[in-house]
């Protein structure tokens, strides 16, 4: 009794050990693992972070910028030329330190493209040869730098960069959906390989059994030698198919584990997923969701804006370019730092610079026409991309609805073919069926099984493709977000 108990425990331990060496996964689990730990998903997260900080940098450029600038020390010890009253040049030795420190607060003005600033400056000059020290300073200064009749890059950046930021965010969602689609493809590559392996193992076992039975039936004179040889060839073919299926399953397993960044050495056992409950998809609703959610839809608007910006830039830069620079403030000097704050004097500076092309031999017009042609090309390209965009949506919606029916038909065909083969096998054993009919029933069984798995693969890949193209979850009826 004790030995029997020991053997039972040993058998249970062996079974649990075998189960521990196999990792069972469903399609949803593989997709989730791919989104969490694959290299592709981590790259998508990194791209999203880069997009976020680039946009933060853009926003920071339009906020006040406080900076401290200076030259400390500014020491010089050399000979310099000095023009004398009679026009001659004399070289004199100088030794001095000229240090400058300024504190400025700057603000860009996006609507006009200009910049305003306030600053304070302190300058110290030490003449070591004359043993003298002087201070010069600007207690307060307000300045403006304003381009006139020129292209305003800041104005266009405020239109385009938010679109680029939205585009990056939606691209992140699309990247994770692409990961799900790629994982689905690898999942079914392995599942098809495992199903082929199961078929090959079952066929080898069945052919081995039938070959042995046929040997006894030959001795009884119930089948011919030719039938026995045909079954022997079937057994050899089954053994060869088994070896090939084992190799394919091993390769597919390696590819899936590499994509998932998995170092788990257990064998993978994949579940055969079932199709979702049948649901109707309105093609127009799918198209509306795609235009509302896809990064590509934002790209269309961004490209058109960039083309319009380039045309405006070409027109502005080819005409009158002017710039107004003005400063108003206070300044003073003295032998002590505090002297610059005692009754400081007014300090003003105003200048207007301009450039007006007069003769360019058609260069300005050519640049404008190139920008205009590029804008037309961008409009045509976006229009074509929109048509392709819409066609992809309608195609996938139609294909998914067709595959919903196809999966049900192939599943039914698989069940019928399996039952028919079982009946054929029983009839052969009872000497009521020929070897040829048995082989046909086996081929139909195998083909029906593969057709069902392939139909499932097409169905799920189309489902995830439609999710990728619309960024919409049709099962839960909500937008996809991570």
121 within 8 A of 331, measured Cβ to Cβ:
no
Per-residue pLDDT, 222: 62
- Residue 449 has φ and ψ, to the nearest 5°, of -65, -45
Identify the burial level of 214 via C-beta atoms within 10 angstroms of its C-beta, where 0-12 means exposed, 13-18 middle and 19 or more buried: buried
Per-residue pLDDT, 291: 92
Distance between CA atoms of 223 and 106, rounded to whole angstroms? 101
Instruction: Summarize the chain as % helix, strand, coil (round to 5).
Output: 60, 20, 15
Distance between CA atoms of 71 and 139, rounded to whole angstroms? 18
- Tokens for 239, please give them: 């053994």
- With H, G, I as helix, E, B as strand and everything else as coil, classify residue 119: strand
- Nearest CA to 105 out of 71, 59, 70, 69 is that of 69
| Radius of gyration of the chain measured on its C-alpha atoms | 40
Distance between CA atoms of 329 and 211, rounded to whole angstroms? 107
Per-residue pLDDT, 15: 41
Q: What is the pLDDT along the chain (482 residues), one digit of tens a residue?
A: 455 444 334 444 444 444 457 889 999 999 999 999 999 999 999 999 999 999 999 999 999 999 999 998 888 888 888 888 888 888 888 888 999 999 999 999 999 999 999 999 999 999 888 888 999 999 999 999 999 988 999 999 999 999 999 999 999 999 999 999 999 999 999 998 988 888 778 777 766 766 666 676 666 566 667 766 776 676 787 778 788 888 888 898 999 999 998 888 888 888 988 877 777 888 999 999 999 999 999 999 999 999 999 999 988 888 888 999 999 999 999 889 888 888 889 889 999 999 888 888 888 889 889 999 999 999 999 999 999 999 999 999 999 989 988 988 988 888 888 888 788 777 767 766 666 676 677 778 878 888 898 999 999 999 999 999 999 998 888 999 88
Per-residue pLDDT, 228: 63
Per-residue pLDDT, 7: 37
| 187-190: Cβ within 8 A, 24+ apart | 187/27, 187/30, 187/31, 187/256, 187/270, 188/453, 188/456, 188/457, 188/460, 188/461, 189/252, 189/255, 189/256, 190/249, 190/252, 190/253, 190/255, 190/256, 190/268, 190/270
């Amino acid at each position: 009794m004790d030995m029997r108990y020991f053997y039972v425990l040993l058998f249970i331990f062996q079974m649990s050990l075998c189960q521990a060496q196999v990792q069972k996964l469903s399609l949803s689990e593989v997709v989730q693992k791919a989104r969490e730990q694959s290299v592709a998903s981590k790259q998508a997260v990194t791209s999203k972070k880069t997009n976020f900080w680039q946009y933060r940098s853009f926003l920071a450029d339009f906020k006040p910028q406080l900076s401290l600038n200076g030259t400390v020390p500014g020491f010089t010890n050399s000979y310099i030329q000095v023009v004398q009253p009679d026009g001659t040049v004399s070289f004199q030795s100088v030794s001095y330190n000229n240090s400058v420190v300024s504190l400025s607060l700057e603000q860009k003005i996006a609507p006009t493209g200009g910049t305003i600033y306030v600053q304070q400056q302190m300058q110290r000059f030490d003449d070591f040869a004359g043993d003298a020290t002087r201070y010069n300073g600007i207690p307060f200064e307000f300045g403006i730098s304003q381009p006139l009749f020129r292209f305003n890059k800041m104005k266009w950046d405020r239109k385009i960069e938010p679109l680029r930021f939205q585009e990056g965010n939606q691209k992140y969602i699309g990247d994770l959906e692409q990961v799900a689609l790629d994982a689905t493809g690898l999942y079914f590559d392995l599942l098809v390989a495992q199903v082929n392996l199961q078929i090959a193992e079952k066929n080898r076992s069945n052919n081995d059994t039938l070959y042995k039975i046929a040997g006894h039936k030959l001795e009884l004179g119930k089948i011919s030698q030719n039938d026995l040889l045909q079954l022997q060839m079937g057994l050899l073919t089954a053994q060869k198919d088994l070896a090939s299926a084992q190799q394919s399953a091993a390769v597919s397993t390696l590819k899936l584990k590499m994509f998932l960044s998995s170092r788990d050495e257990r064998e993978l056992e994949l579940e055969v997923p079932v199709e979702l409950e049948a649901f109707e998809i309105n093609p127009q609703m799918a198209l509306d969701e795609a235009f509302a959610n896809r990064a590509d839809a934002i790209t269309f608007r961004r490209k058109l804006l960039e083309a319009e910006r380039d045309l405006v830039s070409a027109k502005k830069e080819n005409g009158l370019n002017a710039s107004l620079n003005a400063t108003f403030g206070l300044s003073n000097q003295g032998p002590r730092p505090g002297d610059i704050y005692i009754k400081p004097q007014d300090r003003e500076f105003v200048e207007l610079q301009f450039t007006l092309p007069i003769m360019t031999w058609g260069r300005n017009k050519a640049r404008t026409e190139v920008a205009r042609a590029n804008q037309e090309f961008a409009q045509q390209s976006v229009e074509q991309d929109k048509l392709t965009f819409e066609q992809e949506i309608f195609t996938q919606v139609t294909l998914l609805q067709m595959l919903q029916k196809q999966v049900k038909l192939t599943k039914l065909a698989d069940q019928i073919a399996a039952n028919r083969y079982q009946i054929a096998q029983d009839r052969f054993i009872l000497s009521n069926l020929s070897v040829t009919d048995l082989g046909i029933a086996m081929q139909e069984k195998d083909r029906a099984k593969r057709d069902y798995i392939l139909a499932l693969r097409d169905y799920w890949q189309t489902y995830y493709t439609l999710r990728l193209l619309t960024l919409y979850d049709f099962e839960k009826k909500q937008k996809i977000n991570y």
